[in-house]
Amino acid sequence: MDKNILQVAVIGGGAAGFFAAISAKTHHPEAKVTIYEKSNKLLSKVRISGGGRCNVTHHCFDIRELVKFYPRGERPLKKAFGRFSPTDTIAWFEKRGVKLKTESDGRMFPTTDNSQTIIDCLMKETQQLGIGIKTKTNIKKLKKTEGGYELSLDRGGRLHADKVVVATGGSPRPNGFDWLRELDHEIEEPVPSLFTFNMPDEPIKKLMGIAADPVSVKIMGSKLQSNGPLLITHWGMSGPAILKLSAFGARELNEKNYDFKVLVNWAGEKTEQEIRAILKEVAGEYGMKMIHNVNPFGLPGRLWEFLIGKLELGDAMIWQNMGKKNLNRLVHLLTNDEYQVQGKTTFKEEFVTCGGVSLQDVDMKTMQSRKSPNLYFAGEVLDIDGVTGGFNFQAAWTTGYIAGQLA
Ligand SMILES: Cc1cc2nc3c(=O)[nH]c(=O)nc-3n(C[C@H](O)[C@H](O)[C@H](O)COP(=O)(O)OP(=O)(O)OC[C@H]3O[C@@H](n4cnc5c(N)ncnc54)[C@H](O)[C@@H]3O)c2cc1C
């Protein structure tokens, strides 16, 4: 090994590791850059991401707005996005022949609708730059040495690197971070994010497949609240409104052992007063019609019938006979419809871990550890995670780019 050549080791062959390695070699062509991946597969999450289409980033170019999609990392990411933002991601891929398109909800995918396009682009770039790749190489320990780091392999043997980028992804097991704790890094306990709610005892499950949009959902006894589409599934509730709650409430809901009540406002952000006023108007205009035949909030018909059924007014009840008491019950039902959650199901499209290396220990302008010089972090190993929509990859591209540039 030539001692005069700067050795950069990137641990982890996922999105963040590849971007870090490419950035390191692009900014420091004289360095020897090597990716060490423990499995025999590279970029495996990129392959399965976005249902095989890879939701690369999000069509959001205002950094102040962008950071709001990150339950963990919101403020610290401002600095990092200032250096590499979704605009840079789009330009980076486009420069290498990969065009991205935007869907109506802002998610951005390659125009091929195939994650292989992203993998091919990253693989080609690493080959062209002469980046080394070693698979089946599990780094189990890092030790600070005078000139850098000694990397211990789990199958025995040691490697030297002057600079190290750790891009090992999230770990659901707290002891998965022990080797980083040994270097004095604070680890925020990992818990799942982006999951759906199980409601084993709730009859609403019989409406599986029905979606309502927009609804407003609150967790009872907490400040957690979100708006957006809600999907009823055969095990409970899912959809963007639920996933957002699961991400922003990842830690709180874990503490509740996933046993809590949700309150649904089926009329979105409308207040009780607004709903009451609309219902009174309906009762005046359609007084002789049966309640289940007039659906003032445009809810799916089967859902409206289900909700009305909960009031047990009888099928023949007409609007003008409802009376004040029942009108109040209907207002309450529409705005505070209560469901018991018991358990969670991991959202198969885009599962991420909340927790990881504490951002207190990382300089977000450089991604360098504050505890251990010449050690950098990128991607989901950090205590950063976003909601669904391409935000998690954007964090991986951004932190990988910066770590590689400055390593
Ligand atoms: C099914 C699914 C779909 C998703 N879809 C999307 C999407 O469309 N858009 C989006 O933005 N996000 C999506 N995500 C989230 C996104 O995939 C992750 O946030 C992102 O892949 C994190 O990248 P990373 O490089 O930090 O970690 P990873 O992709 O997890 O890569 C880490 C790599 O490090 C390796 N490694 C770990 N420890 C060691 C070690 N000690 N030595 C050597 N190697 C090691 C691992 O084997 C792994 O290959 C999805 C996630 C899942 C699970």
Q: Ramachandran region of residue 200, left (φ > 0), alpha (ψ -120 to 50) or beta?
A: alpha
Tell me the Cα Rg of the chain.
Answer: 25
Nearest to 130 by CA among 3, 5, 4: 5
Answer whether 164's CB lies under 8 Å from 150's CB: no
- Residue 182's Cβ-count burial label (10 Å; 0-12, 13-18, 19+) is exposed
Q: Which residue lies with its CA nearest to atom 6 of ligand 1?
A: 49
Beta-sheet strands, E only, within 5-123: 7-11, 32-36, 57-58, 100-102, 107-110
Long-range contacts of 95-102 (CB under 8 A, 24+ apart): 96/121, 96/124, 96/125, 97/121, 100/56, 100/57, 102/59
* Token code pair at residue 29: 């062509």
- pLDDT the model gives residue 124: 98
**Count, residues in the chain:** 407
- pLDDT the model gives residue 1: 59
**Residue 254, SS3 per DSSP:** helix
CATH number of 7-191+350-406: 3.50.50.60
Cα 148 to Cα 179, 214, 375, distances in angstroms:
16, 53, 9
φ, ψ (nearest 5 deg) of residue 125 = -65, -45
Nearest to 209 by CA among 302, 336, 297: 302
Cα maximum dimension of the chain: 90
- pLDDT the model gives residue 351: 79
* The ligand 1 atom nearest the CA atom of 12: 34
Q: Which residue lies with its CA nearest to atom 22 of ligand 1?
A: 380
Q: In what order do the strands lie in the sheet with 57-58?
A: 57-58, 107-110, 100-102
* Token code pair at residue 305: 């019938």
What kind and span of H or E run contains 44?
helix 44-52
Domain boundaries, given as residue ranges, for the chain: 7-191+350-406, 196-346
Give the mean pLDDT per block of 10 residues along the chain (407 residues).
86 98 98 98 96 97 98 97 98 98 97 98 98 97 94 94 97 88 95 95 98 97 96 96 96 97 96 95 94 94 96 91 94 97 86 93 97 97 96 98 96
Angle between helices 44-52 and 115-129 (to 10 degrees): 150
* The ligand 1 atom nearest the CA atom of 385: 19
Answer whether 212's CB lies under 8 Å from 221's CB: no
What is the rounded distance in angstroms from the CA atom of residue 302 to the CA atom of residue 145? 67
φ, ψ (nearest 5 deg) of residue 338 = -100, 135
What is the rounded distance in angstroms from the CA atom of residue 256 to the CA atom of residue 262? 13
For the CA atoms of 47, 49, 54, 60, the dihedral, rounded to the nearest 10 degrees, stands at -150
Q: How far is the CA of 15 from the centre of ligand 1 (A)?
A: 7
Cα 47 to Cα 40, 42, 77, 247, 397, distances in angstroms:
14, 9, 25, 23, 16
**Residue 9, SS3 per DSSP:** strand
CA atoms within 13 A on the CB side of 93: 24
Number of neighbouring beta carbons within 10 Å of residue 290: 15
* Token code pair at residue 364: 């977000």
| Ligand 1 mutation target, pool 45, 47, 178, 402, most atoms within 8 A of CB | 45
Report residues whose beta carbon is within 6 angstroms of any ligand 1 atom.
Answer: 11-17, 36-39, 44-45, 48-50, 54-55, 138-139, 167-169, 349-352, 379-380, 390-393, 396
φ, ψ (nearest 5 deg) of residue 277 = -60, -40
Alpha helices in 182-249 (DSSP H): 240-248
| Ligand 1 mutation target, pool 350, 382, 388, most atoms within 8 A of CB | 350
What is the rounded distance in angstroms from the CA atom of residue 175 to the CA atom of residue 182? 11
